[in-house]
Amino acid sequence: MQLNESWQWIIALLSLFTLLSLSLNVMIIKKIVSSEKQLNMPSFELDIFPVFEVSQLHTNKFISTDINSPTVLIFLATNCPKCKGKIKMLENLVLHSESQGVSLRIIVHEQMKSIELFFNHTQLTNIIWKLNYTDYKEINPHEISPAYLFVNELSEVEGQGIIDDDNWQHFQQQILGGSE
């Protein structure tokens, strides 16, 4: 009888270790899949920012996007709650960026609903470029938002990402310094 109880304990322990091993393997596989997704996140796939005719939201005048100074292009979508949550932070950045020699531009496209309502009562309307949908899809084919492109004075794309990633936070610290 004692021998049967010993075998039952051994089988129970082996079952427990097997279950634990399977659980750890599942967790490791989930981490690997998550890491792969982050590595394969959509990108803007741009080396040079193209020149387009865009409409300035506050004037409805058409201008060229010929970039000749360091510029941060910000992509927001009017149906994106995260984007709406970035408005105050962007207003603060706009106040400080020009004195640092950096232009900020928000890019939207003509098919976004309620653009004026989305930016209502903000100080951002004078930095918004509205593109036609075809041009917008050329520069942001995956419609990533809230996102950014860092573009130098030669229109070369030097960086890109999602607002609040490490590069964005570094940029924000440079612009705001201790004035947050």
Please tell me the predicted confidence (pLDDT) of residue 38.
46
* Amino acid (1-letter code) at residue 71: T
Q: Provide mean pLDDT across the span 52-60.
A: 83
Indicate the angle between helix axes 87-97 and 166-176, nearest 10 degrees: 50
Residue 39 has pLDDT above 50, yes or no: no
pTM of the model: 0.74
Q: Lay out the sheet containing 71-75: strands in order across.
A: 62-64, 53-56, 128-131, 103-109, 71-75, 147-151, 157-162
Q: Residue holding tokens 């750890």? A: 24
Cα–Cα distance for residue pair 102/151, rounded to 1 Å: 10
Residue 2: pLDDT band with limits 50, 70, 90:
low
pLDDT digits (tens, 9 = 90+) for 84-139: 999 999 999 998 988 888 999 999 998 888 888 888 888 898 899 999 999 999 99
Q: Give the whole-angstrom CA distance, residue 85 versus residue 89.
A: 8
- Write the secondary structure of 102-125 as one string of H (helix), E (strand) and C (coil): CEEEEEEECCCCCHHHHCCCCCCH
Peptide bond into 81 cis (omega under 30): no
Residue 108: per-residue pLDDT: 92
Quick one: pLDDT band at residue 1, thresholds 50, 70, 90?
Answer: low
pLDDT digits (tens, 9 = 90+) for 100-112: 889 999 999 988 8
- Check pLDDT > 80 for residue 83: yes
Which tokens sit at 114? 């309620």
User: Is residue 54 within 8 Å of residue 65, measured between CB atoms?
Assistant: yes
pLDDT at 3: 65
Please give the Cα distance from 65 to 102 (Å, whole number): 15
pLDDT over 80 at 144, yes or no: yes
Q: What is the distance between the alpha carbons of residues 177 and 96, in angstroms, rounded to a whole number?
A: 9
Residue 161: φ, ψ to 5°: 165, -165
Average pLDDT, the chain: 84
